[in-house]
Structure 1
Amino acid sequence: MTRIVVVTGGTSGIGRAIAERFAADQAEVFVTGRHADTVELTAKELGVHGVVCDATAPGQVSSLAARLERVDVLVNAAGGLPETASGDVAPLNALLAQWHSSLAQNLLTAVLTTAAVQDRLTSGSSVISIGSIGAERRGGSYGAAKAALAAWNASLSAELAPRGVTCNVISAGYIADTNFFRGQMSDERQRTLVEETHNKRPGTVDDIAQTTCFLASPGARHITGQAIHVNGGAFTTR
Structure 2
Amino acid sequence: MARLAVVSGGGTGIGRATAGMLAGEGYDVIIVGRRPDVLADAVKWIGPQASAVTADCADPEQVPAVVAAVGDREVDVLFNNAGAFIGGDDATLADLAARWRAVFDSNVTTAVLLTEALRPRLRRPGARVILVSSIAAQRGGGGPYSAAKAALHGWVFDLATQFGPDGITANVIAPGFVTDSEFFDGRMTEEGFRSRVNASLLNRAGEPSDIAEAVRWLAGPGGAFVTGQIINVNGGTVLGR
Contact 2:53 2:65 in 1 (8 A): no
Report 1:1-238 matches (<5 A).
1-47=1-47, 48-68=50-70, 69-84=73-88, 91-122=92-123, 123-137=125-139, 138-237=141-240
Q: What value does the CA root-mean-square deviation take over the aligned residues?
A: 1.3
Unaligned runs of 5+ in 1: none
Letter in 2 for 1:209: A
Deviations 1:24-83 (A, max 9, x none): 112100001101221222222322101101100112112211221210000001001125
Matched to 2:67, the amino acid is: A
Name the SS of the counterpart of 2:53 in structure 1: strand
For 1:55 and 1:83, how far apart are their aligned partners in 2? Answer: 20
For 1:59, what is the secondary structure of its paired residue?
A: coil
Asked if 1 retains the 8 angstrom alpha-carbon contact of 2:53 and 2:69, the reply is no
In the superposition, the TM-score normalised over structure 1's length comes to: 0.95
Aligned counterparts of 2:218 and 2:197: Cα–Cα separation in 1: 25
The 10-residue stretch of structure 1 (183-192 or 226-235) with the greater mean CA deviation from structure 2: 183-192
SS in 2 for 1:109: helix
Q: Percent identity?
A: 41
User: What is the aligned residue count?
Assistant: 235
Contact 2:6 2:75 in 1 (8 A): yes
**Which sections of structure 2, spanning at least 5 residues, go unmatched?**
none
Amino acid at match of 1:4: L
Q: Which amino acid aligns with 1:11?
A: G
For each residue in 1:197-224, what CA deviation from the matched residue of structure 2 results, as whole angstroms up to 9, or x when unmatched? 1111111100000101110011111100
Please tell me the residue identity of whatever aligns with 1:71: V
> What displacement does 1:90 show?
5.5
Q: Secondary structure at the match of 1:136?
A: helix
Q: Distance in 1 between matches of 2:17 and 2:96?
A: 33
The more displaced of 222-231 and 41-50 is 41-50
SS in structure 2 at match of 1:20: helix
Q: Distance in 1 between matches of 2:64 and 2:153?
A: 23
Q: TM-score, normalised by structure 2?
A: 0.94
Provide runs of 4+ in structure 1 moved above 4 Å: none
